[in-house]
Chains A and B, each alone.
Chain A
Amino acid sequence: MNNKALIIITGAIVGVLAVLLVKLGNPQNMGVCIACFLRDISGALGLHQVNTVQYIRPEILGLVIGAFATAVVTRDFRVWGGSSTFTRFILGFFVMFGMLVFLGCPLRMILRMSAGDLNALVGLLGLVAGVALGAVFLRKGFTLGQAVIQNKSNGYMFPAIILVLLILLLTAPAFIFFSQQGPGSMHAPLAVSLGAGIVAGVLAQRTRLCLIGGIRDLILFKELYMLYGFIAIFVVALVGNLVVGNFNLGLAGQPIAHNDGVWNFLGMVLAGFGSVLLGGCPLRQLISASEGNTDSAVTIAGLLAGAAFAHNFGLAASAKGVPVPGQVAVVIGLIVVGAIAFWNVYFNLKTRKTSRREVTYDGGNKGCEGPGLS
């Protein structure tokens, strides 16, 4: 099967699963949302204490399990990292602020659009603007640098942590927080959520589905491949929402959303800008971390920390709107991400004057002194 057909089928399946998960109990327009679900996990672990958004979301665990297993079977599991790891943590941290002010990752943004939420369209404009801004810096030579092969044990830690979370979910010990009210209390049956996550994880690993990558490739390379997947998600979820009666066109009164256009836009500018510098949206980071990329695992840690911080300090938006501290946080985030991009390009240009990236072929051993790849 060719790649284009596979990514369209992947999008279609994710679209169906998303509608199904909402029908079976997930919060409205939140069949899958990587940002929201990581936020729920950080709450379940007690990293924040907002009792309406605490749950170990099985979809996240399934995505990782599915992607990890597929990567191992297809020999895509490669353990590497060390490319500006701490910078990635910081970027992940602020990307989460943007997404929690908009109320969704790029995936939920598409799902919100497919349910008629026009605020998500404003978010999409912001996301495109953010990616375009990041693309300017990429063109100027922004780089987080080369990752190197790492000891294999590094790569198994992320899936191992996910396995521990699965055990905590199944055993539900008293020290783990599970919301009794609000979005965190709303979920499809565990087995369905986990199964849906696994299916999506397998497909996302094979296709490298990523909306940020899709918009970025369109801007940089006039390349549509990645966007086909998201068009498929949108179309299938739209049809699904119309069928189950979950389509409600408009700006006001949308579920788990607010209609403050300026902050929907700016929140997603921040999300898009930071994500494109990171090389992918939270979904892609999650899949990549499952494939042995330890930098992506640290990015996930940054996203989790950002979610905890956002809820501990009342930065996240709610249906009521965006609190002032949340607005300040988005502005600070834009300044920080902008500064990271600017200084990265500046120092790159400075060093590039003395050493050039091009190398003479040396037999393929540069940077590969650790154990060989499987």
Chain B
Amino acid sequence: MMAEIKDARGLACPEPVLMVKNEIDKIGGGTIKVLVNTVAAKENISRLAGNQKWSVSIAEEGDGWLITLTK
């Protein structure tokens, strides 16, 4: 089964982070995958996830990054 991936590409601050924050608040734990294509979004999401004790892994994907958060 293909994982469901949030697409935050092309969105300006703070929308990508807000998208992830809403998902974190909704599921509490598990896996969240999100695609971003700005450095700001990548850093901000990583920082938010780190603060909320989620582990972060980042892989380059096309023009941006696929961020995988797990807890």
- Point out residues on A near B: beta carbons under 8 Å: 3, 76, 78, 80, 83, 138-139, 143-149, 208, 213, 216-217, 220-223, 225, 279-280, 295, 357-361, 363-368, 372-373
Contact = CB atoms under 8 A, between A and B. Distances in A.
A368 B63 contact: yes
A216 B14 contact: yes
Contacts of B11: 83, 143, 145-147
A367 B9 contact: yes
A360 B5 contact: yes
Chain B residues touching A, range = 20 to 34
Interface in B4-62: 4-7, 9-15, 17-19, 21, 33, 35, 37-40, 43-44, 47-48, 51, 61-62
Contact of A359 (B5, B15, B61, B66): B5
A357 B14 contact: no
A88 B39 CA distance: 21
Given A147-B12, A358-B6, A364-B61, 12 more contacts: A83-B12, A138-B18, A139-B18, A279-B12, A357-B6, A358-B7, A360-B5, A361-B2, A364-B64, A366-B7, A368-B63, A373-B37
Closest 4 CB pairs of A and B: A364-B62, A146-B10, A279-B12, A361-B5
Contact of B9 (A3, A138, A221, A366): A366
A279 B14 contact: yes
A143 B15 CA distance: 7
A146 B9 contact: yes
Interface of B: 2-7, 9-15, 17-19, 21, 33, 35, 37-40, 43-44, 47-48, 51, 61-64, 66
A10 B52 CA distance: 26
Contacts of A222: 51
A280 B17 contact: no
Contact of A144 (B12, B51, B63, B66): B12
Contacts of A364: 35, 61-64, 66
A151 B7 CA distance: 22
Contact of B10 (A139, A147, A208): A147
Contacts of A217: 14, 17, 44
Which secondary structure characterizes the binding site on chain A? loop
A295 B4 CA distance: 29
Given A3-B43, A221-B48, A358-B4, A365 B62 contact: yes
A29 to B, nearest CB: 28
The interface centre, meaning the residue of B9, B21, B48 with most chain A CB atoms within 10 A of its CB, is B9
Contacts of A366: 7, 9
Contacts of B19: 357
A295 to B, nearest CB: 8
B10 A148 contact: yes
A359 B39 contact: no
A372 B6 CA distance: 21
B10 A220 contact: no
Contacts of A144: 12
A220 B33 CA distance: 21
Contacts of A221: 14, 17, 21, 48, 51
A359 B5 CA distance: 6
A117 to B, nearest CB: 29
Contact of B62 (A3, A78, A139, A363): A363
Contacts of B40: 208
A80 B64 contact: no
A147 B9 CA distance: 8
A216 B5 CA distance: 26
Contacts of B37: 78, 373
A51 B32 CA distance: 56
B10 A373 contact: no
Contacts of B12: 83, 144, 147, 279, 295
Nearest to B7: A359
Contacts of B48: 221, 223
A357 B20 CA distance: 12
